[in-house]
Amino acid sequence: MLHLRNDVPTFVVDAPGGGGKITLQPNYMISQSPEKVVLRNFEGVITTYPEPKGYVPGRADDYFSQVYQNYQEKQSNTGISSLLNDEKNNLVPHSLDRYIRRSSFQEKVGHITLKDKRVKRDELKEKKYQAEMKKYTTDPTSDDTKGV
């Protein structure tokens, strides 16, 4: 218990669509609507996370419409607005390091991935399944009742 003395707990969200784990801090939380929160991870991927099922939206709508009278007329479907309006699930920059690494790996002559080995994996799984099934098939000539 002593090792927890100076630790600061962090609320983390596992972003859908492979966005990774994002800490809910001001620099990672971009926007929020009654239905979802827009987050940015350390790579720059922008994604949304839905509010919980028991969340009651609309409590601040009257105040919001007083402060921003024309917000309904000025709706947009690009950028962050496309995420909030369910047009897109996430915004991914094309210059991500993982995309660059993946393309340089795929350009190498003779590159092999695990996806290329699926046929062999399936053959081995079938062979193992057949061996297990062979164990459980009963042979009418054998006497398996010994020791019972």
**22-49 residue pLDDT tens:** 888 888 888 888 788 889 888 888 888 8
pLDDT at position 148 over 80? no
Rg, C-alpha atoms of the chain: 27
pLDDT 10s digits, 94-137: 778 888 888 888 788 888 887 888 888 999 999 999 999 998 88
65, two tokens: 């419409």
Query: With 70 as the cut, is the pLDDT of residue 141 above it?
Result: no
Query: Strands, E, within 16-141: which ranges?
Result: 20-23, 29-32, 36-40, 46-50, 90-91
Q: Where are the domains of the chain?
A: 2-97
